Homo-oligomer: A and B are copies of this chain.
Amino acid sequence: MVYVTRKAHFAAAHRLYNPAWSDEQNTHVFGKCNNPHGHGHNYNIEVTVAGDPPRDTGMVIDLKQLAEIVDRELIELVDHKHLNLDVDFLKGVIPTAENMAMAFWKILAPRIPSGKLYSIKLYESDNNLVEYRGE
């Protein structure tokens, strides 16, 4: 079993906000992340696929192919977008890093052509990151 990781990047705006709550409660819980016009991040994502590399290729998954899948199926949908307003698969989701990582898993897991999706790491900033392993 070898774990193969590809990194990718996107830039997006978002706002943390629960529409079921009052403004006061939103500000209390989400602080300045609740700024009404939104703020933004350069997100870094690490997609890890686990598998046994076949003898004739020595590759769990072709990293170029994995990069293309991540770009086409995910990055295209979120890069230079407002995550609350422009992204269909995040409609109704509070775009915390936790919720984003779980939503990204749902998109990518069925699209990995060899090996199995093992982990998605999402860096919201250099100091804040989350990991989801489908558990």
* Chain A residues near B (Cβ < 8 Å): 1-9, 11-14, 16, 18, 20-21, 29, 31-33, 35, 37-42, 53, 56-60, 62-64, 67, 79-82, 85-86, 93-99, 101-102, 125-133, 135
Contact = CB atoms under 8 A, between A and B. Distances in A.
A13 B82 contact: yes
A91 to B, nearest CB: 14
Nearest to A97: B4
Contact of A79 (B9, B12, B32, B93): B32
Contacts of A132: 1-3
Given A3-B132, A5-B130, A11-B39, 17 more contacts: A1-B133, A1-B135, A4-B98, A7-B126, A7-B127, A12-B40, A13-B37, A33-B80, A35-B80, A38-B38, A39-B80, A40-B42, A41-B42, A53-B98, A57-B94, A57-B96, A58-B99
Given A32-B79, A41-B40, A41-B42, A9 B129 contact: no
| Contact residues of A: prevailing secondary structure | mixed
Contacts of A53: 96, 98-99
